[in-house]
A and B are shown apart, each in its own frame.
Chain A
Amino acid sequence: MSVRVYVPRDTTALSLGADTIASRLEREATARGQPITLVRNGSRGLSWLEPLVEVDTPIGRFAYGPVAPGDVTALLDSGLLEGSVSHPLAQGPTEEIDYLARQQRLTFARIGITDPLSIEDYRAHNGFCGLEAALQREPQDIVEEVKASGLRGRGGAAFPTGIKWQTVLDTPADQKYIVCNADEGDSGTFADRLVMECDPYMLIEGMAIAGLAVGATQGYIYLRSEYPLAKEILDEAIRRAEQAGYLGDDLRDSGRAFHLEVRLGAGAYICGEETSLLESLEGKRGLVRFKPPLPAIEGLFGRPTVVNNVLSLAAVPFILAEGAEAYASHGMGRSRGTLALQLAGNVRRGGLVELAFGTTLRTLMEAFGGGTASGRTLRAVQVGGPLCAYLPESQWDMPLDYETFAEVGAGVGHGGVVMFDDSVDMAEQARFSMEFCKVESCGKCTPCRIGSTRGVEVIDRIRANDNREANLALLSDLCETMVDGSLCAMGGMTPFPVQSALKHFSEDFQRTANGDRS
């Protein structure tokens, strides 16, 4: 029997040569008279070890990484096919890799283990148990289970998912919709992508359960156009799920329907904001809507609509299969369950770290991340995406929990953790925040549209030491105007990273752009 060898096919593994590695392994193993069975699995989320090649052995899977195409011959010579650990890239049994073993993987329990498109694999690893359970229950019952889990939206605003579903369930309509927000625009985040590329049936299952819960028969996944591979995988997964009766007019002979379609965004960060997203899905410019009405009452095409992030929906199958308590027993305070953290930027061991709420940033960045990739001193970390604050070392010991972070004006957001070493120029980062807002503003309100343009100019003057003190005062005023006067969080939160840079890294605003202090 030929040995099974796994080479991941997610974007990160591919970006580092996984396809070449896969074909070389197959060719060279065959040439050695030891043909392999190649499986293109998802990623384990250990980005720093990608491409992470795994080999089946009688005592479990053994890992090798990060493998470059040029390592293939030496790895085979060293006995990779027997699970030998003599090569420097050998990591031993995959499940025992500390980075993975120390995680609490509820949502990401399957990623990297299975072939993302295999329904058999998915079923063999508890897949569709949540949907089967939901099909036996009344809508209100499903909503109660989600409420009891304490699940809060993972897209940024942390609104309780069960309460949102209740509103949609309670609003009578001829048609309701489930919309999955897969716009994942925040720098430093890739957990949504991992779900879609590595475990797409979990998202499909979560959406179908949401449909059963609120009485929606149509779902859309609004996917950013920057993720072409996720599109390809989702489209194929939907096709296969339809064939297997997990989507379509008659879910598992229950007589209940749920249809699903992927729609592509078109490179607009603001379309991650839920009302802008709905406009975009309707075929319009992504201008933010006034609220109320809430999307849960008047959403897509004016109908009651659940808009949830990928990770919120992906958490639902576990909750239905294992029960609300199994989820809620993790976490702290009002932050229940696990948080998918994404270690990114200047980090030695970047990747996905799923942990119960309550860990500290320091644990995450040091014990998991291993410090900076450059080896220099870690100086600043931006948690929660481009609209959230930069945190200095004095704030690295707070527990990661929505309320604790909110108290200090920080955010958990979608769980992105972007690390910067001491070569960072925080005035340049502040400038970028304003520039990003200028590029991505939907243009509906003045404080955001004009304020961000002014913000870039004012920071340029500060960095050029042109009337510095007066311009620093102007920048503070401008930030306040944007916070107070913007319609949505794009303009309303862009000042947060700027203000945090001014507050915690003020020395960077006292030198000129080329680095000289003046």
Chain B
Amino acid sequence: MNHSQEWAPQAIQAEVDALKHKPGALLPILHALQDRIGFIPEAAVPIIADALHQTRAEVHGVISFYHHFRTTPPGRHVVQICRAEACQSVGARQLEAHAKARLGVDYHQTTADREITLEAVYCLGNCACGPSIRVDDSVRGRVTPEAFDELIDELQTRPLEVMG
């Protein structure tokens, strides 16, 4: 993921203005902001509230309801581990424990070097080839603890985009 951590209120305003006329515009707006910035900055809330004629509390309420939206910057990569049943049956619990130990973080936390944010996810639709994880926008299947370590090594040394 290549998020610019720099954002200006004008840029937020432009994203909001481009989408505010859609029926039910709030989720599309939040997605657009998070895709661009990596999270929903606090400064966006009053801008969105104004544009949609809602209260700030309403906008906050929506942001906090959905697991996907975050209000603090993530690491350079977001790694999600599938915790759901089909992956459990092939070792997801062991993978989860291994990942936390390897990265030294729990879910919703970011490694000290700000490379990786670890998240839980409940099914990635890859249930016949688990355990599954998602790294930014790509899903990996049959992830053993060893494969996980290799992946993390690669993430920490070069950008995911050039990986084979």
Chain A residues engaging chain B, CB cutoff 8 angstroms: 11-12, 14-17, 20, 47-48, 50, 69, 184-190, 192-193, 225-229, 263-269, 280-286, 301, 342-347, 350-351, 373-374, 382, 386, 416, 418-421, 424, 429, 432, 436, 439-440
Roughly how many angstroms separate A202 CA and B13 CA in the complex, as a whole number?
A: 37
User: B31, A344: Cβ atoms under 8 Å?
Assistant: no
Asked if B68 lies at the interface with its beta carbon under 8 angstroms from chain A, I say yes
Min CB distance B146 to A, Å, is 15
Asked if B137 lies at the interface with its beta carbon under 8 angstroms from chain A, I say yes
User: B142, A342: Cβ atoms under 8 Å?
Assistant: no
User: B26, A440: Cβ atoms under 8 Å?
Assistant: no
Given A187-B122, A373-B90, A424-B89; A283-B52 close (CB under 8 Å): yes
- Residues in chain B near residue A343, CB distance under 8 A: 128
Q: Which of A16, A283, A419, A429 contacts B62 (CB 8 A)?
A: A283
Asked if B129 lies at the interface with its beta carbon under 8 angstroms from chain A, I say yes
Min CB distance B125 to A, Å, is 4
- Residues in chain B near residue A421, CB distance under 8 A: 89
User: B62, A48: Cβ atoms under 8 Å?
Assistant: no
User: B125, A11: Cβ atoms under 8 Å?
Assistant: yes
Min CB distance A37 to B, Å, is 22
User: A189, B125: Cβ atoms under 8 Å?
Assistant: yes
In the complex, the chain A residue whose C-beta lies closest to that of B31 is A264
- Residues in chain B near residue A225, CB distance under 8 A: 31, 68
Min CB distance A298 to B, Å, is 16
Roughly how many angstroms separate A12 CA and B126 CA in the complex, as a whole number?
A: 6
The 7 A-B residue pairs with the shortest CB-CB distance in the complex, in nearest-first order: A350-B128, A283-B26, A187-B84, A266-B66, A47-B128, A344-B127, A15-B141
User: B26, A284: Cβ atoms under 8 Å?
Assistant: yes
- Residues in chain B near residue A416, CB distance under 8 A: 86, 127
Min CB distance B150 to A, Å, is 13
Asked if B132 lies at the interface with its beta carbon under 8 angstroms from chain A, I say yes
User: A268, B52: Cβ atoms under 8 Å?
Assistant: no
- Residues in chain A near residue B123, CB distance under 8 A: 184-189, 226
Asked if B27 lies at the interface with its beta carbon under 8 angstroms from chain A, I say yes
Min CB distance A381 to B, Å, is 10
Roughly how many angstroms separate A187 CA and B65 CA in the complex, as a whole number?
A: 21
Roughly how many angstroms separate A50 CA and B61 CA in the complex, as a whole number?
A: 42
Question: Which chain B residues (58-87) contact chain A, with CB distance < 8 Å?
Answer: 61-62, 65-69, 84-87
Given A14-B139, A269-B122; A418-B31 close (CB under 8 Å): no
Asked if B38 lies at the interface with its beta carbon under 8 angstroms from chain A, I say no
Roughly how many angstroms separate A285 CA and B27 CA in the complex, as a whole number?
A: 10
- Residues in chain A near residue B52, CB distance under 8 A: 283
Q: Which of B65, B84, B87, B138 contacts A285 (CB 8 A)?
A: B65
Roughly how many angstroms separate A462 CA and B63 CA in the complex, as a whole number?
A: 36
- Residues in chain A near residue B87, CB distance under 8 A: 187, 345
Q: Which of B69, B127, B138, B141 contacts A266 (CB 8 A)?
A: B69
Roughly how many angstroms separate A191 CA and B45 CA in the complex, as a whole number?
A: 37
User: A227, B86: Cβ atoms under 8 Å?
Assistant: no
Number of interface residues of B (CB under 8 A): 42
User: A263, B28: Cβ atoms under 8 Å?
Assistant: yes
User: B85, A342: Cβ atoms under 8 Å?
Assistant: no
User: A15, B61: Cβ atoms under 8 Å?
Assistant: no
Min CB distance A460 to B, Å, is 16
Q: Which of A50, A227, A382 contacts B129 (CB 8 A)?
A: A50
User: B89, A301: Cβ atoms under 8 Å?
Assistant: no
User: B86, A344: Cβ atoms under 8 Å?
Assistant: yes
Asked if B140 lies at the interface with its beta carbon under 8 angstroms from chain A, I say yes
Roughly how many angstroms separate A240 CA and B24 CA in the complex, as a whole number?
A: 25
Roughly how many angstroms separate A229 CA and B141 CA in the complex, as a whole number?
A: 15
In the complex, the chain A residue whose C-beta lies closest to that of B140 is A15
User: A47, B129: Cβ atoms under 8 Å?
Assistant: yes
**5 residue pairs bridging A and B, Cβ less than 8 Å apart:** A11-B139, A15-B126, A47-B128, A190-B126, A264-B27
- Residues in chain A near residue B62, CB distance under 8 A: 283-285
In the complex, the chain A residue whose C-beta lies closest to that of B65 is A285
In the complex, the chain B residue whose C-beta lies closest to that of A196 is B125
Asked if B134 lies at the interface with its beta carbon under 8 angstroms from chain A, I say yes
User: B140, A342: Cβ atoms under 8 Å?
Assistant: no
- Residues in chain B near residue A192, CB distance under 8 A: 125
Q: Can you add 19 more A-B contacts, CB < 8 Å, to A188-B123, A193-B125, A345-B130?
A: A12-B126, A12-B128, A47-B129, A187-B85, A226-B123, A226-B124, A226-B125, A226-B134, A227-B125, A265-B66, A282-B23, A283-B62, A342-B127, A345-B85, A345-B88, A345-B127, A347-B128, A418-B86, A436-B84
Roughly how many angstroms separate A15 CA and B135 CA in the complex, as a whole number?
A: 10
Q: Which of B23, B30, B122, B127 contacts A350 (CB 8 A)?
A: B127
In the complex, the chain A residue whose C-beta lies closest to that of B138 is A14
- Residues in chain B near residue A12, CB distance under 8 A: 126, 128-129, 141
- Residues in chain B near residue A187, CB distance under 8 A: 84-87, 122-123, 127
Asked if B121 lies at the interface with its beta carbon under 8 angstroms from chain A, I say yes
User: B89, A268: Cβ atoms under 8 Å?
Assistant: no
Roughly how many angstroms separate A78 CA and B164 CA in the complex, as a whole number?
A: 24
Roughly how many angstroms separate A418 CA and B126 CA in the complex, as a whole number?
A: 12
Asked if B11 lies at the interface with its beta carbon under 8 angstroms from chain A, I say no
Asked if B112 lies at the interface with its beta carbon under 8 angstroms from chain A, I say no
**Best-surrounded residue of A69, A346, A374 (most CB of chain B within 10 A):** A346
User: A268, B66: Cβ atoms under 8 Å?
Assistant: yes
User: B85, A429: Cβ atoms under 8 Å?
Assistant: yes
- Residues in chain A near residue B97, CB distance under 8 A: none
Min CB distance A19 to B, Å, is 8
User: B128, A436: Cβ atoms under 8 Å?
Assistant: no
- Residues in chain B near residue A228, CB distance under 8 A: 137
Min CB distance A462 to B, Å, is 19
User: A420, B89: Cβ atoms under 8 Å?
Assistant: yes
- Residues in chain A near residue B89, CB distance under 8 A: 345-346, 418-421, 424
Given A283-B62, A285-B65, A344-B86; A11-B164 close (CB under 8 Å): no
Q: Which of B25, B26, B67, B142 contacts A267 (CB 8 A)?
A: B67
Min CB distance A218 to B, Å, is 9
User: B86, A16: Cβ atoms under 8 Å?
Assistant: no
**Best-surrounded residue of B68, B128, B129 (most CB of chain A within 10 A):** B128
User: A190, B128: Cβ atoms under 8 Å?
Assistant: yes
Min CB distance A405 to B, Å, is 18
- Residues in chain B near residue A269, CB distance under 8 A: 122
Roughly how many angstroms separate A40 CA and B136 CA in the complex, as a whole number?
A: 22
